[in-house]
Structure 1
Amino acid sequence: MAAPTRVAQQAPPTRDPVTAYRTDLDGLRGVAIALVACFHIWFGRVSGGVDVFLTLSGYFFVGSLLRHAIAAQAPHVNPWRAANPWPRFTRLARRLLPALLTVLIAASVLTLLVLPQTRWLTVGREVMASALYYQNWHLALNSQDYTAASSANSPLQHLWSMSVQGQFFLVTMLTALAMTLAVTVVTRRLPVPVRQRAIRWSAGSTLLGVLAVSFYWAQLRAGINQPFNYYDTLARVWEPLAGGLLAIWMPRTRMLTWLRTLVGITALAVIVTCGWWINGVESYPGPSALVPVLATLAIIWSGAIAQEHGPSAPVPAVNHVLSGRWPVWLGSISYALYLWHWPLLIFYLAVRGKDHAGVVEGVVLLAVSAALAWVTKRFVEDPLRVARSAGRTRSTGRHAAPPTHARRAALLSYSGLLTSVLVIGASVTGVTIKVWEHHVDTMVVDTTDLDPAVYPGGRAFLDNAPVPRMEAQPTPLQVLKDLPITSYRGDISSFTDDGVTVGVYGDTDATRTVALAGGSHAEHWITALDAIGKRDHVKVTTYLKMGCPLSSNPHPTYLTNDVPYPQCRDWVQQVMHRLTTTDKPDAVFTNTTRPRAGITGGDIVPDDYTPILRQFSDADVPVLGIRDTVWPHHDDGTAIDSPTCLAEGGDPDTDCASSRRTALSDSDPTDALVGRYPGLHPLDLSNAFCDDTTCPAVIGNVTVYHDWHHLSATFVRSLIPELSRQMRAALPWT
């Protein structure tokens, strides 16, 4: 993980505890990166190592800014020049960007070589988000949980923390420079020591206030939207600020070496073990994150004894151990090692088609990651910092002999060449991503004229239609765009939209109306209903909202997690009022079943669906209750991304298929409710998705799903005859 460059110099007479170089903290970074990598590869848990990095980054960066601000108060310093952010910004860029761009370019190439085309756009967008330091927001808004690695994970998911640090560095730097200038102007007539104290206290007070707000926000949002909270910069910033406060206000005590040793041992033990007894994904960056953060602060404090009491003061045992050769070496490559280990793991799992790495595989991955990290540091990071670090040895903090003129010229030439290569590589990567994004966004899927004799789709199961050997349509890449027409027209409310959007389809001039209502699993039937309505002179109106089936649940949650979804409750109440009173269509078409929790126990009618059926029955509105479609999954309950599975060469009848036994109950659960709710008419097309044992990803030469669990428009089109037959049997006028 990144940390700002620290100034290697002897402690000044004031013995500022953040001035001298701390090799033990390099060693602590080494321990942290080892924890992060090992927990990612073998244990599928959050180790707390990232929280250590964030705290250390705040300690070093704020300490550096503080020294700069205090030095700017000297009489001979021009405050306007001292407030210029550009020199510090360029140093920060030289520290962070070279290794990051190297890994992003490599990840882009490996994506083209290893991953299927269905994943190129997603990874490409994450490359851009990582390069521009908003990856954490990208992941938060796309609700990606940061859990155990698998071949389906993003190879750049780990870079969320780099984005948080980059945002923290930039905002803190600009704020500090502005504050320095303001204090300088306001106190310009006061003695220098007073101005320096004003800088320290104004900085400390500001950091303390922001830290309090951030910590409160983190614990508040944990109970509202923890997946988003995990990536949220505002929720995370209290961690580096805690390190920054220690840099400003380091507690000074008597020597008490034995106490510092005890504190250091305890803190290191906490850091090493907290990943086992704290579920970081579910609790960080809330109050539980105080454990690794406070432990990191304790180690920083325990090792500050030499700076407080002079170089002859005994060093606590833990800090002495952390200053050892191997921890310090590991710390020196920690930034590059963090960048490399996760993409290597994900690409390896993708190549092997596995979700976990074994012991030997993990050891090899760690060794390769460490080797690449050393090469990156030695030949990418260090040469591009040569202009300001040629006179000292970075890993030890001791001065080295200046390089010869020829050596320096060679290093600068190499740095210029390397910069050109990185800039060109990054530019080519960015252009390639944009070209591919344009290709996918403008891709047109037109399967309306497919020959039904060659592409029978669902009729292969329903009518035993013959299936000639042909390549499935749409292709795995094309099917990503094979969406319902309502998605393209915007006739479905988003997750955050509280309003009710009504679309009109079918025969828009018809006197009879069927209302399609519910979430996205109701939406994908519009392809068939639109065609049926036009043919049979029935108007089809849509009342749709993402992830929001018609339900009486007072506390609905988002589909993939337990995040409260109050907009869904409010929307359902509005829609039910309109459907049962003001609009009152001739019938409502909606889902009446869904999978049991875990998606492997068959399907059920949820308890919170039945009050909705009662409201329709009381309002004398007939309900065409469609049985929910199969949610593709393996027998262990893990979901299947069908387009990606097919793109990777998976067999649609085995690798990418679901078991009917685990997906569906023996009969449509809605049938048992017919006697209780007059006007309820069950519709069941499950035999179009599954034979007696298997629910394939391709049926009748047609790709069934356009994503993890939504039907492709092409497959729905093949179900029109059977859906129409069942609707006519229920309501003859349809």
Structure 2
Amino acid sequence: MTPGPVLPPRLPSLTGVRAPLAVLVFVAHALGSARFFADDSINSLGFLLPYGPAALSLFFVLSGFVLVWSEPWREGVGPYFRRRVVRILPTHALTWAAVLLLLAALGPLPLLGPLPEVGPALVNLSLLQSLVPLPDYLLSVNGINWSVSCEVVFYLLLPVISRPLLRVPDHRLWACFGALAAVVLVLPGVIGALVDGPPWALWPPLSFEQAWLVNFFPLTRLPEFLMGVVLARIVATGQWRPVRAWWPLLGVAAVWALLPVLPQVYARSAIAAVPLALLVPVMAVRDLEGRRSWLSRRWVRVAGDMSYATYLLHWPLLAVAKHVMGDRLVGWGEGLLLVAALYALTQGLSLLLHRWVERPLLRRVHRPRLSPAPDPAG
């Protein structure tokens, strides 16, 4: 009997790492955006270092890495798109509808704004809002899902982009990664120099046009995703050389140290993605070598699997909490309890969505069981 196609080895740490990344995004928004604390120095911890945007950059890199690692295109583009749709659309549609109901019932909410008009709401439902350079469209309904809109564009482009990237000779993969890293590092400066406009109230002193091009526009964020694609090939072809995790982390610290002397546009850019991206193959190789870490533990992997639902739910829950509190601000003790309770509520609802919506649907479209990959050590 002819053996079936071989599955690539599993990389559980790349699932588990999504859990702490989701925590970083939640904390950044609970402190820097919701601003529950009377002591503004605590609120400022949300943006003192751009750890929330850095976590989001790593999500983009992870997406590129995991999709190329686990999607060998042996089943064709149809099954690939079917799995992507099932992975993102049901949870998005449920949270989209829930936010519209909240806005209709409660009126304008902090962080969410008023009930949007039909056009922006439908564009948000389609998850193409990051392509529209208008604030009312970009941040309509559950505005936090602009990054999911970027992912949708990545998913649409990957079957085309992956073909030339998969044909890059093994010995040129690092040069390809370097070229993508150079784009990430240089592009914000180019945008800041060539694009101008009045300060955007949300992110002064940047104009909306600068902010959109640097942070929200999918093609600007595409190099982060493609770095993940190339790194997956670097690991798969044996081009990766052992690196300790603290080297990429030192690189992130160096980037953050430079931010005060760089143009303001860099503060909202993805330049930390370049050193952060190198953490992904570090974790992947540990898994391939059979070395366990806390990221591969089952409860961490479950939290990582829930991270998409966590991401979509946390923003409207913070908005409702801010609405309930009104102008009242709290001390650090009460504030920490509030943030912890909101995180627990977010996780509880995320678990329900993951268990009763995401997992059953994913099982239905999952590929037929393939032959296990050979032991990489054997």
Alpha-carbon distance, 1:360 to partner: 1.9
Counterpart Cα distance in 2 of 1:341 and 1:104: 13
Alignment partner for residue 223 of structure 2, among 238, 245, 264? 238
Matching of residues 648-667 of structure 1 within 5 Å: none
Percent of aligned positions that are identical: 22
Q: Measure the CA separation in 2 of the matches of 1:386 and 1:361.
A: 36
Q: Alpha-carbon deviation of 1:274? A: 8.2
Quote how far apart the aligned CAs of 1:391 are.
Answer: 7.7
Q: Is the 8 A contact 1:60 1:247 kept in 2?
A: yes
Taking a change above 3 Å as real, the CA distance of residues 306 and 142 of structure 1, as seen in their structure-2 partners, is: closer
Verify the 8 A CA contact 1:164 1:233 in the aligned structure 2. Answer: yes
Against the structure 1 CA distance between its residues 59 and 91, is the aligned structure 2 distance closer, same or farther, given a 3 Å change threshold? same
1:382 and 2:353 aligned? no
Task: Tell me what 1:227 maps to.
Answer: 211
Distance 2:297 2:114 in 1: 43
Secondary structure, counterpart of 1:136 in structure 2: helix
Matches of 1:334 and 1:276, distance apart in 2: 29
**Structure of higher RCO (CA pairs closer than 8 Å, 6+ residues apart):** 2
Larger % of strand: which? 1
Q: Which amino acid aligns with 1:297?
A: L
Q: TM-score, normalised by structure 2?
A: 0.71
Distance 2:219 2:240 in 1: 37
Aligned: 1:341 with 2:314? yes
Indicate the SS of the match to 1:304.
Answer: helix
Q: How far is the alpha carbon of 1:26 from its aligned partner?
A: 1.5
| Shift, 1:31, TM fit | 1.2
CA positional deviation for 1:27: 1.9
**Which residue does 2:125 correspond to in 1?**
131
Measured at CA, do residues 253 and 206 of structure 1 come closer, stay the same or move farther in structure 2, by a change above 3 Å? closer
8 Å contact 1:215–1:238 — kept in the other structure? no
Partners in 1 of 2:135 and 2:245 — Cα distance?
40
Structure 1 residue runs of 5 or longer lacking an equivalent are 1-7, 11-18, 72-81, 146-152, 181-195, 398-734
CA 1:222–1:320: 2 relative to 1, 3 Å: farther
Alpha carbons of 1:296 and 1:197: their partners in 2 closer, same or farther (altered >3 Å)?
closer
> How big is each residue's C-alpha offset from its partner over 1:594-618, in whole Å with a ceiling of 9 and x where there is no partner?
xxxxxxxxxxxxxxxxxxxxxxxxx
Inter-partner Cα distance in structure 1 for 2:305 and 2:144:
19
What code does the residue aligned with 1:350 have? Answer: H
- Following TM superposition, by how much is the alpha carbon of 1:59 offset from its aligned partner in structure 2, in angstroms? 1.0
1:23 aligned to 2:12?
Answer: yes
Distance in 1, Cα, partners of 2:149 & 2:143:
11
**Alignment check: 8 A CA contact 1:36 1:49 kept:** yes
Paired AA for residue 296 in structure 2:
S
State the Cα distance separating 1:292 from its structure 2 match: 3.9
1:113 Cα offset (Å): 1.1
Question: How much does 1:57 deviate?
Answer: 0.7
Structure 1 residues 252 and 111, CA gap change in structure 2 (3 angstroms): same
CA distance in 2 between counterparts of 1:26 and 1:87 reads 21
> In 2, Cα distance between the equivalents of 1:372 and 1:278?
37
Contact 2:24-2:55 at 8 Å conserved across structures: yes
Who is 1:36 aligned against?
25
Q: Where does residue 148 of structure 2 map in the other structure?
A: 162
Question: What are the ranges of 5 or more consecutive residues in structure 2 without an aligned counterpart?
Answer: 33-45, 196-208, 374-378
Q: Which amino acid aligns with 1:327?
A: V
Which residue does 1:59 correspond to in 2?
A: 65
Q: Where do residues 9-20 of structure 1 align in structure 2 (5 Å cutoff)?
A: 19-20=8-9
Cα drift, residue 90 of structure 1: 1.4
1:234-313 matched pairs, under 5 angstroms = 234-250=219-235, 252=238, 260=243, 263-267=244-248, 282-283=265-266, 286=269, 289-305=270-286, 307=288, 311=290
| TM-score (normalizing by structure 1) | 0.39
What SS class does the counterpart of residue 127 from structure 2 fall into? coil
Shift of 1:111: 0.9
For residues 190 and 142 of structure 2, what CA distance do their matches in structure 1 show?
28
Contact 1:136 1:163 in 2 (8 A): yes
State the Cα deviation string for residues 232-256 of structure 1 (Å, max 9, x = none). Answer: 2222111111111111223847986
Secondary structure of 1:382's partner?
A: helix
Whole-angstrom distance in 2 between the partners of 1:334 and 1:291? 21
**Aligned partners of 1:42, 1:274: CA distance in 2, in Å?**
22
Query: Structure 1 or 2: larger helix share?
Result: 2
Matches within 5 A, 1:624-643: none
Partner of 1:350: 323
- Report the AA paired with residue 31 of structure 2: W
Q: CA deviation at 1:266?
A: 4.8
Aligned to 1:103: 95
Name the counterpart of 1:407.
none
Residues 181 and 227 of structure 2 are in contact (CA less than 8 Å); yes or no, is this contact kept in structure 1? yes
Distance 1:360 1:390, change over 3 A: farther
Asked whether the equivalents of residues 104 and 115 of structure 2 are also in contact (C-alpha less than 8 Å), the reply is: no
Counterparts of residues 224-623 of structure 1 (less than 5 Å): 224=195, 225-228=209-212, 229-250=214-235, 252=238, 260=243, 263-267=244-248, 282-283=265-266, 286=269, 289-305=270-286, 307=288, 311=290, 315=291, 320-354=293-327, 358-389=335-366
